[in-house]
Amino acid sequence: MEDVATLTIRKGLPSDLGALVGLDDYAQLHSERVASISAYVAAGECFMAEFEGEVVGFVVLNYTFFGFGFIPLIVVAASHRRRGVGLRLLSEAQLRCTAQKLFASANASNGAAQALFTRAGFIRSGVIENLDHADTEIVFFKISGLT
């Protein structure tokens, strides 16, 4: 198990796109997800975690949710899950967020993401029906770090 304190967190670069996509199983099968990750990187919204030179996760932070901070995507390599990488990425997003409020969301079927947000101190804020067929989107909220 790696020491999350030794993780390097930095903005993703276009040259990192292959590694970022390689972490995301959904992106392996959906070209629109690859395009989204590429756009997040180009906009400077993607922050990635490296451990001993290996990309082990990334988080996206933008302000598309009513002008507040929003995390539309967080991905951790399967081999590094439940080792603190996700918590470290969420902490970094919170610290970098320039809005007073930070939101995130997870599908009702994604218990691991819900547990991660809860463990990181986010509180359940509401639900959005009908985004994904028969899979409610749960919205989470937290006060950001740079207020």
Q: What pTM did the predictor assign?
A: 0.92
Position 3 scores a pLDDT of 64
Position 42 scores a pLDDT of 98
Q: Average pLDDT per run of 10 along the chain, which is 147 residues long?
A: 75 97 93 97 97 94 96 92 91 95 96 96 95 92 75
Position 4 scores a pLDDT of 65
Position 1 scores a pLDDT of 43
Helix H, strand E, coil C: the string for the chain is: CCCHHHCEEEECCHHHHHHHHHHCHHHHHCHHHHHHHHHHHHCCCEEEEEECCEEEEEEEEEEEECCEEEEEEEEECHHHCCCCHHHHHHHHHHHHCCCCEEEEEEECCCHHHHHHHHHCCCEEEEEEEEEECCEEEEEEEEECCCC
Position 117 scores a pLDDT of 97
- What residue has token string 């993703």? 12
Q: What is the CATH number of domain 4-143?
A: 3.40.630.30
The DSSP 8-state label assigned to residue 81 in this structure reads: T
Residues 6 or more apart whose Cβ sits within 8 Å of residue 8: 49, 50, 51
Distance of CA 85 to the CA centre of its chain: 11
Position 147 scores a pLDDT of 46
